[in-house]
């Protein structure tokens, strides 16, 4: 049509002209037809496009409806009137001791927050809140309530009484957010082990509880996993032993005027820590703020047992003796040169308080009387490299692998330049700083029959895996015999607990001055590292006192024999029965053997 249209009218117009008609009418008709045709096309196009528009609108309205549906289905972020009863489930797993007694659990509590927009009488609210919570500042509250803020937290945890009191204010702008808090029912007991928890992300309906220290932090992922909610984390700690040890240690610390103290009780076959106390301690329910200035060790948060590295003094001597026996360079009865002073270059090594134990003594005697000179001679026989190797095998070269987040900070301090002189001083416990937990691990490994243990806070479920051997069975037994002699004959005579055949070694180390340059002569770290019962070893106990002193036999005493040993003895006296150890009333046969052997 579009091709033919222009042709025909012309013919018609010519025709019309010939007939004398007016051609304009044909022209108009032609125009009308073309117009009609154009309109048809545009109508068809419009029809399609209107359909598209209609579909677009349907889809768009559908999207809005669907979105509304999803949102209506979602949990509201801030429950106000409707959803007060939203349940909060116990989510963080409990922590229990080795017998299932609760160390950490959850408690439902409420946080207090305000929506000042809904508040009726801000001044009254502030007045009443200050009455309930004296630590709040009234002016600050009024400023917050009357300002532009629409939301603010007032208290993170409320007791039921406090909550009721706030309820009684009766202002709709004061609201409660239900949540769980972590509760440590035993308070300060095991504070350093548990660490503590705090709130992470906080919402009105619930808040996230996250571990901030100790096992709470080290096992945070396990404890937060909802799958473990019914499976409490079982520690190797024994709550009664922990409580007793803490009580005795606190008493000893007070009597001796020490500024700090720590004790570790370890199962020497498995490496399980049965009790670990560090004083001063804190309440994990209300963790103090970390110190921002000064020395970290001055904060009660500081875990002396794990983070504190000290020169542990003569407790190290047994390592030299054991290694000498293991290597065959000396036996228990080998005579060692003990003539002071021992000169090495321009340095000289003497005995405590200028004593002298004669020109020679047996190796057993060297340990018994704690002779620095004798031990140094033994170390010289061993040599630098073999000593390093041995101490490394006992775990003194790296931080303890115990499951505390703080453990990695307790790295031993080794001499930068390990000369023969270092070897000599380290043999009697100077020049190498390690944590009491290092010492407990090393004593356990050495005295349990000679296999390496790894310290752990988690209760073993299966049989104990035997670690790599560090010394032979015989050397381990001989070492115990020597340590037993220290208690029966030597420096730790206050440590003899009847029926438990305690063996151990004292260590009294002068504290190095903080700013370097020598040692204090009136401040010591006194340590007693013990094992009991010595004939059938079960536990290792380390007691360390920081700057103890006591009047004994008419003079001021600081040595471990007068300070750490009696405390340790009291702990063993009370804890051993709790752990189910039967006192050996008959004199142990091993005692007789050692006596006859040494005579």
Partner 1 sequence: MTEMVYGAIPKRDGEPVLPRWWRTIDKWSLSCILLLFGVGILLGLAASPPLAEKNGLPTFYYIQRQAFFGVMALIAMIATTMMDPKMVRRLAVVGFAITFVALLLLPFIGTDFGKGAVRWFSFGFASVQPSEFLKPAFVVVSAWLMSASQDLDGPPGKLYSFALALIIVMLLAMQPDFGQAALILFSWAVMYFVAGAPLTLLVSLAVGVVMFGTVAYNNSEHFARRIDGFLSAEVDPRTQIGYATNAIQEGGFFGVGVGEGQVKWSLPDAHTDFIIAVAAEEYGLVLVLAIIALYGTIVVRSLSRLMRERDPFIRLAGTGLACAFGVQAMINMGVAVRLLPAKGMTLPFVSYGGSSVIASGIAVGMLLAFTRNRPQGEIGDILIRRGR
Q: Which stretch binds partner 1 (CB under 8 A): 76-84, 127-135, 220-228, 471-479?
A: 76-84
In the block, tokens 């209760």 appear at 459
Considering only residues 25, 31, 90, 296, which one is a binding residue for partner 1 as defined by CB under 8 A?
31
The nearest distance, CB 148 to partner 1, in angstroms, is: 10
d(CA 40, CA 33): 11
The nearest distance, CB 65 to partner 1, in angstroms, is: 5
The nearest distance, CB 23 to partner 1, in angstroms, is: 18
Q: Does 80 bind partner 1 (CB under 8 A)?
A: yes
The nearest distance, CB 57 to partner 1, in angstroms, is: 5
> In the complex with partner 1, which residue's Cβ is closer, 45 or 138?
45
Q: Is the peptide bond before 316 cis (omega within 30 degrees of 0)?
A: no
CA atoms within 13 A on the CB side of 85: 0
Site map 297..326 versus partner 1, x via CB under 8 A:
------------------------------
d(CA 88, CA 551): 57
Q: Which residues 34-73 are close enough to bind partner 1 by CB under 8 A? A: 34-36, 38-39, 42-43, 45-47, 49-51, 53-54, 57-58, 60-61, 63-65, 67-69, 71-73
> In the complex with partner 1, which residue's Cβ is closer, 38 or 597?
38
Q: If binding means CB under 8 A, how many residues of this protein chain bind partner 1?
A: 44
Q: Does 76 bind partner 1 (CB under 8 A)?
A: yes
**Which residues, listed in sequence order, are joined to residue 527 by a DSSP beta bridge?**
507, 544
Structure tokens at 505: 């070694």
The nearest distance, CB 62 to partner 1, in angstroms, is: 8
d(CA 564, CA 256): 9
Q: Does 10 bind partner 1 (CB under 8 A)?
A: no
Q: Does 2 bind partner 1 (CB under 8 A)?
A: no
d(CA 459, CA 230): 17
The nearest distance, CB 24 to partner 1, in angstroms, is: 16
> In the complex with partner 1, which residue's Cβ is closer, 46 or 90?
46
Sign of torsion over alpha carbons 522, 436, 533, 597: negative
Name every residue whose Cβ is closer than 8 Å to that of residue 312 and which is 6 or more positions away in sequence. 429, 433, 434, 436, 439, 507, 509, 525, 527, 529, 544
Sign of torsion over alpha carbons 489, 492, 498, 502: negative
Q: Which residues 180-209 are close enough to bind partner 1 by CB under 8 A? A: none
The nearest distance, CB 74 to partner 1, in angstroms, is: 5
DSSP 4: T
> In the complex with partner 1, which residue's Cβ is closer, 201 or 343?
201
Considering only residues 118, 159, 286, 493, which one is a binding residue for partner 1 as defined by CB under 8 A?
118
Site map 358..397 versus partner 1, x via CB under 8 A:
----------------------------------------
> In the complex with partner 1, which residue's Cβ is closer, 78 or 398?
78
The nearest distance, CB 203 to partner 1, in angstroms, is: 9
- What distance, in Å, lies between the first and last C-alpha atoms of the chain? 137
- At 303, phi and psi to the nearest 5? -95, 100
Structure tokens at 130: 């200050």
The nearest distance, CB 123 to partner 1, in angstroms, is: 20
> Given phi > 0 = left and psi -120 to 50 = alpha, else beta, which region is 388?
alpha
Q: Does 146 bind partner 1 (CB under 8 A)?
A: no
Considering only residues 75, 221, 521, 586, which one is a binding residue for partner 1 as defined by CB under 8 A?
75
The nearest distance, CB 173 to partner 1, in angstroms, is: 11
The nearest distance, CB 117 to partner 1, in angstroms, is: 6
d(CA 91, CA 582): 41
The nearest distance, CB 208 to partner 1, in angstroms, is: 15
DSSP 205: S
> In the complex with partner 1, which residue's Cβ is closer, 65 or 592?
65
The nearest distance, CB 181 to partner 1, in angstroms, is: 23
Cβ–Cβ contacts within 10 Å for residue 236, how many? Answer: 23
> In the complex with partner 1, which residue's Cβ is closer, 76 or 170?
76
Q: Which stretch binds partner 1 (CB under 8 A): 78-86, 97-105, 247-255, 272-280?
A: 78-86
Q: Which residues 511-550 are close enough to bind partner 1 by CB under 8 A? A: none
Contact yes or no for 453/438 (Cβ under 8 A): no
Q: Does 150 bind partner 1 (CB under 8 A)?
A: yes
What are the E-state strand segments in 445-591?
503-512, 519-532, 539-546, 550-552, 555-557
Contact yes or no for 103/143 (Cβ under 8 A): no
Is 485 strand, coil or helix?
A: helix
∠ CA 485-489-495, nearest 5°, is: 80
Cβ–Cβ contacts within 10 Å for residue 61, how many? Answer: 10
Roughly what angle, to the nearest 10 degrees, separates helices 564-578 and 239-256?
A: 160
The nearest distance, CB 151 to partner 1, in angstroms, is: 5
Name every residue whose Cβ is closer than 8 Å to that of residue 78 and which is 6 or more positions away in sequence. 204, 205
Contact yes or no for 298/291 (Cβ under 8 A): yes
> In the complex with partner 1, which residue's Cβ is closer, 47 or 168?
47
Q: Which stretch binds partner 1 (CB under 8 A): 11-19, 74-82, 261-269, 429-437?
A: 74-82
> In the complex with partner 1, which residue's Cβ is closer, 56 or 593?
56
Burial of 149-183, coded b for 16+ CB within 10 Å and e otherwise, reads eeeeebbbbbeeebbebbeebebebbbbbbbbbbb
> In the complex with partner 1, which residue's Cβ is closer, 47 or 521?
47
CA atoms within 13 A on the CB side of 325: 28
> In the complex with partner 1, which residue's Cβ is closer, 65 or 170?
65
Q: Where along the sequence are the contacts to partner 1 (CB under 8 A)?
A: 31, 33-36, 38-39, 42-43, 45-47, 49-51, 53-54, 57-58, 60-61, 63-65, 67-69, 71-83, 117-118, 150-151
């Amino acid at each position: 049509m579009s091709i033919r249209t222009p042709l025909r009218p012309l013919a018609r117009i010519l025709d019309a002209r010939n007939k004398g008609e007016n051609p304009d009418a044909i022209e108009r008709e032609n125009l009308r037809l073309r117009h009609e045709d154009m309109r048809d096309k545009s109508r068809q196009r419009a029809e399609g496009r209107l359909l598209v528009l209609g579909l677009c609108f349907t889809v768009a309205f559908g999207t809005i409806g669907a979105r509304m549906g999803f949102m209506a289905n979602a949990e509201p972020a801030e429950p106000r009137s409707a959803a007060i009863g939203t349940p909060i489930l116990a989510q963080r797993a409990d922590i229990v001791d080795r017998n299932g007694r609760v160390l950490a659990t959850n408690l439902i509590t409420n946080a207090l927050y305000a929506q000042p927009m809904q508040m009726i009488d801000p001044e009254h609210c502030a007045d009443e809140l200050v009455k309930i919570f004296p630590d709040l500042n009234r002016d600050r509250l009024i400023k917050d309530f009357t300002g532009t803020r629409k939301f603010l937290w007032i208290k993170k945890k409320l007791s039921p009484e406090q909550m009721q009191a706030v309820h009684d204010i009766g202002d709709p702008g004061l609201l409660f957010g239900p949540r769980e808090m972590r509760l440590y029912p035993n308070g300060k007991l095991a504070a350093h082990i548990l660490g503590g928890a705090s709130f992470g992300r906080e919402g009105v309906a619930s808040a996230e509880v996250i571990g901030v220290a100790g096992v709470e932090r080290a096992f945070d992922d396990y404890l937060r996993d909802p799958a473990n909610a019914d499976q409490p984390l079982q520690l190797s700690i024994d709550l009664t032993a922990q409580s007793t040890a803490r009580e005795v240690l606190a008493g000893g610390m007070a009597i001796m005027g020490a500024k700090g103290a720590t004790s570790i009780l370890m199962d020497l076959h498995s490496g399980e820590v049965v009790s670990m106390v560090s004083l001063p301690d804190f309440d994990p329910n209300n963790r103090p703020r970390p110190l921002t200035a000064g020395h970290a060790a001055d904060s009660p948060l500081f875990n002396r047992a794990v983070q504190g590295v000290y020169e542990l003094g003569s407790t190290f001597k047994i390592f030299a003796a054991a290694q000498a026996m293991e290597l065959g360079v000396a036996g228990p009865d080998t005579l060692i040169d003990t003539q002071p002073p021992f000169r090495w270059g321009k340095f000289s090594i003497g005995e405590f308080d200028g004593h002298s134990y004669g020109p020679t003594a047996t190796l057993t005697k060297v340990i018994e009387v704690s002779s620095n000179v004798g031990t140094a001679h033994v170390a010289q026989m061993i040599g630098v490299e073999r000593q390093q190797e041995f101490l490394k095998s006992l775990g003194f070269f790296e931080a303890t692998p115990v499951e505390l987040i703080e453990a990695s900070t307790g790295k031993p301090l080794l001499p930068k330049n390990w000369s023969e002189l270092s070897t000599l001083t380290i043999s009697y416990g100077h020049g190498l700083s390690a944590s009491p937990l290092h010492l407990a691990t090393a004593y356990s490994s050495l005295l349990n029959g000679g296999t390496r243990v790894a310290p752990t806070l988690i209760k073993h479920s299966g049989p104990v895996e035997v670690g790599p051997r560090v010394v032979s069975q015989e050397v381990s037994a001989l070492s115990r015999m020597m340590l037993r002699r220290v208690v029966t004959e030597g420096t730790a005579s206050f440590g003899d607990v009847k029926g438990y055949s305690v063996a151990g070694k004292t260590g009294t180390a002068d504290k190095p001055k903080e700013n370097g340059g020598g040692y204090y002569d009136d401040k010591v770290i006194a340590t007693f590292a013990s094992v009991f019962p010595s004939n059938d070893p079960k536990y290792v106990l380390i007691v360390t006192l920081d700057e103890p002193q006591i009047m004994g036999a008419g003079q001021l005493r600081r040595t471990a024999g007068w300070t750490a040993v009696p405390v340790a003895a009291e702990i063993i006296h009370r804890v051993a029965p709790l752990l189910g150890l039967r006192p050996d009333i008959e004199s142990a046969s091993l005692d007789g053997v050692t006596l006859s052997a040494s005579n």
